[in-house]
Amino acid sequence: MRIEETELADVLVLVPEPFRDERGFFTRTFDAAEFDAHLGAPGASAAFGQDSQSRSAGGVIRGMHGRSGRGEAKLVRCARGAVHDVLVDLRRGSPTFGKQQAFRLDDETFRHLYVPPGFLHGFQALTDLADVCYRIDRPHDPAEDLGVAYDDPDLAIAWPRPVTVVSARDAAAGSWRRLLATL
């Protein structure tokens, strides 16, 4: 597994190195020892205590979601299909505060993201079906949910496909400006 830095402070891309042959492939999708060594924090990987998975049809957008309080760290990967994954830095004082970066996650490269606490996260399914897996460092608490509308003009996220479906909750999410006023 290779670990790459990104344009956003503290966000990492984890790149598995699959073995391919006539049977298909085998890959290690996560290596706790390599992850902990890269962070310089033995045992950091043990914090990931909850796994979740979503399935989305092509064009669906899920996001932009975040957590208040301590936030949450997560590992995100696309196990089936492909997604356009977007992060926005919410951490005041961060050198990349307010900046966004998009990543393609898919079932060909197996790249996945380490997202530290303090980011908005969302994605759009690029394929007919996309399964996204999340490994999260603490249980979900709906009282800490934050959200910004996927089409907020201040964020101006460039979604690559026409939007097919957005949940009622995501469609009613507030604005970037309103969220900043509460931070």
Which residues are known catalytic residues? 65, 134
Question: 114 with 14: CB under 8 angstroms?
Answer: yes
φ, ψ for residue 58, nearest 5 deg:
-55, 135
- Helix or strand (DSSP H, E) at 86: strand 82-89
Sheet with 82-89: list strands edge to edge.
Answer: 100-106, 82-89, 119-125, 61-67, 145-147
Spatial distance between the Cα atoms of 132 and 116, rounded to a whole number of angstroms: 18
